[in-house]
Chain A
Amino acid sequence: MAGIWIVAETREQAFELLGAGCTLAPGMEAALTAVVPKGSAPPGEYIARGADEVLLLAALAPGEPFGAHLPVIEQEAGAGSPDLILFAATARGKESAARLAARLGCGLCSGCTALAFDREARSLRMERLAYGGAAIQKLDALSKPVIVTVPPRSFEAAAAAEGRQGRVRELPAPPPSPVKIVERKPKEKAATDIAEARVIVCAGRGFDRQEDLALARELADALGGELGATRPVTEELHWLPEDLCIGLSGVQVKPELYVGLGVSGQVQHMTGVRGAKVVCAVNRDENAPIFALADFGIVGDLYEVVPKIIEALKT
């Protein structure tokens, strides 16, 4: 029987990856195996959500990184011989997936945006974005297994069903990793998660000074939305925290309304806005690419135009 494995760092990730696995398992006639940290949730929760087998990763010593599990996962995957291994496309997931792919000598589809099984051809169809989002790359596996990383929130979490049966097995502790974590600095929980925002006002390089972002925030407040930013604003200027960075290498957003202020419309950024229902823009450069990628755009100086929009919204 064919096999689909999911490898997750957390319970939430595992549920989403099981959701992905459950959509593929019937077509592939595959059994579903969840490889999850011991203690992340009672194994029964994974079985209820579609896992036929749960492999529990041993608890790690405090300084050991998630990647320490790789030798054990490699050995198990070698013995279990799955057809497909799914990871979440998070920092740890992406690194682990690539390292496991190298160890198993197999292919890896990174940041997969579409994943389906072609029953006739008996093969997986994978898609991802390339060239900063300007292109869609379709991939076919030439190796078994094939590993796929799936961006968070791409799939619905698997629903729990009653009465499912599955096996549970504890994996041996891995050898110590050469990489040691000496300190963890947890992120202060952002007040809002722009990935879930319904309205986003995005500040781009068109703002002259950091304090001027107040204008973007004012418009966001008037629209009942959240503030986001382009990469130069977060990573070059450090005017806003990086969790507000929208784009291929940042957060992918799907609001009802996106308003870009002083955003030129680079493809890497606009790819992150692909899921927006309505895209509006204000930019003084009439040749800015964003005008072709927006539904509505005002050609004008945002410092003059935005106060007028805010004023008009009040009436």
Chain B
Amino acid sequence: MVFEKLIKRLREYNEILELDAIARRYLTMNAFDGVLTMLGILVGSFFAGITDTRIIIIAGFGASLAMGVSGFWGSYLTEKAERRKELRELEKSMLTRLKKTKIGRASKAAPYILAMIDGLAPFIAALFVLIPFFVVSITMAYYIAIALAFLLIFVLGMFLGKISRENIILSGLRMTVAGIVCVLLALLLGFR
């Protein structure tokens, strides 16, 4: 009952402020950031010859947390400022306070909702790539983790393709190019 009420309220806020478009943007952009950061760490560690799983896990976890906190905080402060500005402009046009209306409540909730998405997207994406290091031997873990990273990048690309109604395979491949560039640059670093 409480959950249904929450879903209903979120739907209302979404209709008023069109949060789904912004949320999709934050989700894709920041999950992409998370995966690419992890890919950089993995390729760098591989060529640096790191064989201690603990180091990869701690470094990876630290990076995930940092991205999560940065995503949450940055997004919250930015959205809060923007929503406040929009609400003030609307109040000027309406000649009345809107704090206790649905639009006022939606404007107050939006920064939290978007900050959660912005913070969780890179955090979860980065952690997903780290999973093999908890399960298999380090050499296998490197290969599987890099494969998982590319898979996630491809899936994110497909998601974007679905939104824009383009060929989802092509869209996935386009995103994967970024992953390849990341690996190549890290390879160059490894050869120096």
The answer to whether A and B interact is: no
Residues on B lying within 8 angstroms of A by beta carbon are none
Binding site for B on A (CB under 8 A): none
